Structure 1
Amino acid sequence: MPLVHSEMIEESSTLLLWKLTETETELRGNLGNAYNPEELSAVSHPQKLREWLASRLLIKIIAERFGINYIGTYKDEHGKAFLIDNDSHISITHTFDFVAVAINPPAAVGIDMEKMDAKLQRTSKKYLSQPEFEHAGDEMALLCMYWCAKEALYKLYGKKKISFRDSIYIEPFDKDAVSLKGRLTDTETVVEANITVRWFDHHCLAIAL
């Protein structure tokens, strides 16, 4: 797994991005027994299995950088991942080509990565409010940034049944922006976040803190 990018985000969160090149056998060998068998048993698709193994291997690597004894992850009732026996916050994202992990010891973090694709244009009215839709138009880079920013904020919050269109708002930005502002509203809860954006080989990566 060649390291593509490593960065400290806002002095507390660390991001690692790897290119996914290994076979399932190689990933299993490198990961060893440092995983939750219950989680692994729920994954059957070959590509999804590679992505899952790669993401856990990357969590292991980033945890060791922080002196954490990594023994696996578990998911809560909303599907949000946590470290077993450690309170540091993590977030995971993977695509066909990349896997990325962010760790933020003091507070929640959300991360997402998406490749620019025409489906973002076809479905934009489902995840953008009217002002966001008018701002983005059919500009692929803006649509990809909106989606990743909203997904990252959604994963930071960590609860299901949140409407991307109606409950998550991203302030207007241009396609060269590297820092966005987002707000998630859920009943009486409001979560505001700074969202850092990076681009890698036509993939947008967003980290919400």
Structure 2
Amino acid sequence: MPLVHSETIGEHCTLLLWKLTETEDVLRKSLGSTFNSDELGLISHPQKRREWLASRMLVKTLVEQFGIDYMGLHKDEHGKAYLVNNSSHISITHTFEFVAVAINPVSSVGIDMEKEDEKLRRTSRKYLSPSEYAHAADEISPLCMYWCAKEALYKMYGRKKVSFRESIFIQPFTGKHPQLKGILTDELTIIKSDIHLRWFDGHCLAIAL
């Protein structure tokens, strides 16, 4: 997997972005026994299997850069990924073309990546508040930014059953702004986040800290 981008975001978070080029067999051999074969067995689509394996390969590469012995990755009851026998926080995203991982040793992190696509218009009323919908003006780039920012904040929080439309709000922005402000509310919980945006070949990448 050729490295496309690496960056330290904030004081502690490290981001790696790779281009997905390997076959499933190559990824399996590279990972050895350090992946959850039961979880992989639940995925039937060949491309999704490649993306899943590639994301684990990238996690392994990243944590080993920190001098950490990679012992695998599991998910909690909410589906949030965590490292086996290590307290560093981690988040994963993958598309047809890219795989990205963020690791933060001190606090939770969320990451998402999405390609600018017409489907964002078809679904926008489901994930945007009325004011956000009006602000996006049915334009693909802001719709993509809203979606990625909300998804990243949702993944940083790491709990299920949170409404993107009713519980996650992104402050208005202009153009392809590199940093957004977001807030998530869930009963008595309120989380404010700085959400960093990057663009790669028509894909928006969002990292919530």
Calculate the TM-score normalised by the size of structure 1: 0.98
CA RMSD, Structure 1 to Structure 2 (Å): 0.8
For 1:1-209, list aligned pairs within 5 A.
1-209=1-209
Structure 2: tracts of 5 or more residues without a match: none
Distance in 2 separating the partners of 1:133 and 1:50: 34
AA aligned opposite 1:90: I
Deviations 1:36-58 (A, max 9, x none): 22322222221111001100000
Q: Secondary structure at the match of 1:39?
A: helix
Moved segments of 4+, more than 4 Å: none
The answer to whether the 8 Å contact 2:80/2:155 transfers is: yes
AA aligned opposite 1:43: I
AA aligned opposite 1:68: I
Distance in 1 separating the partners of 2:22 and 2:79: 26
Structure 1: tracts of 5 or more residues without a match: none
Distance in 2 separating the partners of 1:179 and 1:122: 25
| Offset of residue 192 of structure 1 | 0.5
AA aligned opposite 2:193: A
| Offset of residue 71 of structure 1 | 1.1
Q: Secondary structure at the match of 1:100?
A: strand
AA aligned opposite 2:151: E
Distance in 2 separating the partners of 1:65 and 1:38: 27
Alignment coverage as a number of residue pairs:
209
Distance in 2 separating the partners of 1:207 and 1:141: 17
Deviations 1:40-85 (A, max 9, x none): 2222221111001100000000000111110111101110000000
Calculate the TM-score normalised by the size of structure 2: 0.98
Distance in 1 separating the partners of 2:121 and 2:36: 37
AA aligned opposite 2:53: L
The answer to whether the 8 Å contact 2:28/2:53 transfers is: yes
Same amino acid, percent of matched pairs = 67
Q: Secondary structure at the match of 1:82?
A: strand
The answer to whether the 8 Å contact 2:141/2:176 transfers is: no
